[in-house]
């Protein structure tokens, strides 16, 4: 029983799980706010001075 309680108290599983949870939370916020803060492909093309051709875009 002591080995099991040592495992749960060990940071060897807590640190990776905590990092994955943190990244998942950040990605969920990004997906939720994507339309408000991220540019479309057409906006990136216009910023570079290029013409945007919707038909040549690969989807």
Q: What is the pLDDT of residue 36?
A: 80
Q: What is the pLDDT of residue 6?
A: 74
Q: Is residue 41 a contact partner of residue 52, using CB atoms and an 8 Å limit?
A: yes
Instruction: Write the DSSP assignment of 10-51 as a string of letters.
Output: -HHHHHHHHHHHHHHHHHHHHHHHHHHHSPPHHHHHHHTTPP
Q: What is the pLDDT of residue 20?
A: 96
Q: What is the pLDDT of residue 50?
A: 67
Q: What is the pLDDT of residue 44?
A: 73
Q: What is the pLDDT of residue 24?
A: 97
Residue-number span of the structural domain to which 13 is assigned: 2-56
Question: How many distinct structural domains can be found in the chain?
Answer: 1
The series of mean pLDDT values per 10 residues for the chain, 59 residues long, is 69 87 95 81 71 58
Task: Give the single-character DSSP code of 58.
Answer: -
CA angle, 9 then 16 then 14, to 5°: 15
């Amino acid at each position: 029983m002591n080995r099991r309680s040592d495992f749960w108290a060990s940071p060897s599983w807590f640190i990776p799980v905590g990092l994955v949870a943190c990244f998942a939370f950040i990605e969920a916020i990004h997906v939720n706010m994507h339309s408000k803060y991220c540019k479309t492909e057409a906006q990136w093309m216009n910023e570079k001075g290029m013409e945007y051709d919707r038909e040549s875009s690969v989807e």
